Structure 1
Amino acid sequence: MNKYARDFPILQQKVNGHPLVYLDSSASSQKPFQVIEAVERYYKEINSNVHRGVHTLGTRATEAYEGAREKVRRFIGARSEKEVIFTRGTTSSLNLVAHSYARARLGPGDEIVLTPAEHHSNLIPWQQAAKATGAALKYLPLEPDGTLDLNKVQEMITGRTKLLAIAQVSNVLGTIHPIRELADMVHRQGGVIVVDGAQSVPHMKVDVQELDVDFLAFSGHKMMGPTGIGVLYGRESLLEEMEPLEYGGEMIDHVDLYESTWKELPWKFEGGTPIIAGAVGLAAAIDYLESVGMDTIHRHDQELAAYAQRRLEEIEGITIYGPRENRTSLVTFNLEGVHPHDVATVLDAEGIAVRAGHHCAQPLMRWLGVTATVRASFYLYNDESDIDRLVEGIRKTKEYFGNVLG
């Protein structure tokens, strides 16, 4: 167990009689004491609604909530707090853009550009936007290893490209896409780029100004924060033009019987009582990540993914998906003759938690020519001993099913 794992209480337990090896951080990361205690402290000492009350607890809650927004702003390099919208997660952030931005601006003849590797959260909202507006969906071709050929991308992004939606890191392949180059291509044609940062923001330094992205969505629960809190970064000029998706309390300025006006950014997109405790926990998670250093985390994840790939390649009958280079934080594979769910079940009996299934990326599964895969995903609290346990577990899986089927 590495030194950071000691900060995560859930990792101190045994599962099915074995010390837990948690290799499912791409689905949801574990939480350190610092985050758990920050949320507990909020409920014990601060709990109140924000922006409304003039009493002491209300003031403390507002300061904690808006302080979290400023921490997020610094963390992703946004110019202004107005560009940081708190949401329920990546999914709701992307849906907000698809409804409030895309549906109001797209029409027949316009194109939404995607890749076949997108998570369903970054695919279905654009399918629905295309149906609602008459715009067309256009898919960039993937190279055999799941990467993009920028020369081919350049040919496909034209004056009709109004929006490119892409994950910075694939949740299945671990591919890191060149977001700045893609942003430059789209902007030269007058379009905007929407980035799914669910798998990148927790694992590497992401600066929205350096990348020159128009929208970035990510979730707290994948970066050591609580569930139920996420962020939409949006370029201020674009957010100003957009209409809210939810209406009600908190997001209004003036209400009459027949007309209402909205608060200024960012609050016009945060109708109802916001996710205050979640924001407090997210701020604590950012503190933890920054205390380690995002460059350190990125280097650790890449080294661990490379080690996992080398060790898995030692096992006969393993197929590993995705690029050998420029990948991070996960390895996705299949074991010949054994269904991914069976692999995951045997590994769980050994105390090893991995993910098996289509990973909310069914078009990518079809592109790979499989129905499902096994994914082992890593974070700061994992080390090479966890990979060794994984390899040992896969060997036991292979031996077991070899005996059963043999």
Structure 2
Amino acid sequence: MRRERMSPNLTAVRNELPAVQASVYLNTGSYGPLSRAAATAIEGENRQQLTVGRLTGMGETGQSLSASLRGGFARILGCDSDEVALTHHTTDGMNIATWGIQYRPGDEIVTNSWEHPGGLLPVYAAARRFNLKVRVVSLEKDEDEETLLAKFERAINPRTKLLSVAHVSWKTGTVLPIDRLADMVHYHGGLIAVDGAQSGGAIRLDMPSSKVDFYSIPGQKWLCGPEGIGALYVNKERLGDLLQTYVGYPSLRDGGAYDETGIFLPPEGARRYEVGTTYRPAMAGMWSGIQWLEELGLDWMYDRTQEITRYTRAALSSIPSVRLVQTPTHAGLTSFTVEGISPSTVVDRLAQENILIRSVPDPDLVRVSSHFFNDETDIDKLREGIEGL
């Protein structure tokens, strides 16, 4: 008889994230609290480099860590490990996906008005370089899913080479139906690249069912890892469609896989898009951090994030002066306004109470991030803080 897995003790979980003891930590969408597991591994690797040297991280040892980390990210993304390239951050992956496509004169890229600069600026730069047309879909607060999809459907056409969107809007918290968007753009022969900065580690991901071609996530937000490490999913069926833009020693099948004629052979799979060295302590920290999350249980983490986010939305909705941005579904972000007070003023005043949130521009909103480690007391303090403004 199979025994159900016990849910982790939330107090014990919070003890493994010391920063959440120092404040009401509600800004994971910018930076998640660094886990003790990640910090210990970073410290250990730094000490090893200082006392023994960095040569011990070369060869099979370094390759083993990279392979383990790809496997960890693959389980977060819901894909095969050979479909994962290690990157430095979400923006890194979005650049790889945007610049690697073989554009032709007259091609178009479709994006939208809620995109983060990390996904939007690569689009603008590629359009400038290759003389492409960019169609920006104008999205509005409180729109339902069918209205959002209809706007994209009007913009996507046979000239669309790439659709570049965030899975979860960093502004409103809206979760876009990327599987249906993928169907739209694939119907016209285009590709889809997804910014997963606000989804990777916040909601369950399954790349095959999402139907996307490229999906980029960071380590330092919802995965509670260090800066400087992330991952890019490349659908194995799209390897022939995404050229290597930046290349280096890791981009080769092996050290001798090139000649003086300019021919070089990439490795099989997505690791061909890895270019140079990555800070090894960050890799060690990220790998240990993912292992800790897996010990807690990824399903528990996602379910707990949904639970505490529902509690957050209910608590904020109970305040007469607060107006939530309504979203068809949600991840861990909740955006809202407070009547008569600017978002930046709300953030500043709550910071004086040691409640850490943030504001976002265009539209001007207050944004709260609720994740698995937040407890109801955190949210109650947030509610009381807003009521006292």
TM-score by length of structure 1 reads 0.83
Q: Paired residue for 2:298, among 275, 294, 300? A: 294
Return the alpha-carbon distance in structure 1 between the equivalents of residues 240 and 280 of structure 2: 24
Shift in Å at residue 239 of structure 1? 3.3
Identical counterparts, % of pairs: 31
SS in 2 for 1:8: coil
In the alignment, residue 386 of structure 2 is paired with which amino acid?
I
Change in 2 beyond 3 A, CA 1:162/1:56: closer
SS in 2 for 1:304: helix
Per the alignment, residue 120 of structure 2 pairs with 123
SS in 1 for 2:215: strand
Matches for 1:27-38 after TM superposition, within 5 Å: 27-38=30-41
Q: Please, which moves more after superposition, 156-165 or 213-222?
A: 156-165
Per the alignment, residue 183 of structure 1 pairs with 182
2:77 pairs with 1:76: yes
RMSD: 2.6
Change in 2 beyond 3 A, CA 1:175/1:293: farther
2:201 pairs with 1:209: no
Indicate conservation of the 8 Å contact 1:146/1:175, yes or no. Answer: no
Shift in Å at residue 276 of structure 1? 2.6
Shift in Å at residue 7 of structure 1? 1.1
Indicate conservation of the 8 Å contact 1:141/1:148, yes or no. Answer: no
Q: Give deviations 1:305-347, integer Å, cap 9, x for gaps.
A: 2222222233333232232x41121221222222222221211
In the alignment, residue 209 of structure 2 is paired with which amino acid?
E
Per the alignment, residue 43 of structure 2 pairs with 40
Return the alpha-carbon distance in structure 2 between the equivalents of residues 80 and 345 of structure 1: 42
Matches for 1:215-234 after TM superposition, within 5 Å: 215-222=214-221, 223-234=223-234
Q: Give deviations 1:274-302, integer Å, cap 9, x for gaps.
A: 23322222222222222333333233222
2:347 pairs with 1:330: no
In the alignment, residue 105 of structure 2 is paired with which amino acid?
G
Return the alpha-carbon distance in structure 1 between the equivalents of residues 344 and 141 of structure 2: 25
Change in 2 beyond 3 A, CA 1:48/1:137: farther
Indicate conservation of the 8 Å contact 1:331/1:376, yes or no. Answer: yes
Indicate conservation of the 8 Å contact 1:217/1:231, yes or no. Answer: yes
Indicate conservation of the 8 Å contact 2:358/2:368, yes or no. Answer: yes
In the alignment, residue 281 of structure 1 is paired with which amino acid?
G
Return the alpha-carbon distance in structure 2 between the equivalents of residues 237 and 73 of structure 1: 16
TM-score by length of structure 2 reads 0.86
Change in 2 beyond 3 A, CA 1:44/1:185: same
Indicate conservation of the 8 Å contact 1:262/1:268, yes or no. Answer: no
SS in 2 for 1:123: helix
2:383 pairs with 1:383: no
SS in 2 for 1:105: coil
Return the alpha-carbon distance in structure 2 between the equivalents of residues 122 and 243 of structure 1: 18
Return the alpha-carbon distance in structure 2 between the equivalents of residues 70 and 21 of structure 1: 33
Change in 2 beyond 3 A, CA 1:86/1:347: same
Return the alpha-carbon distance in structure 2 between the equivalents of residues 263 and 282 of structure 1: 26
Shift in Å at residue 242 of structure 1? 3.8
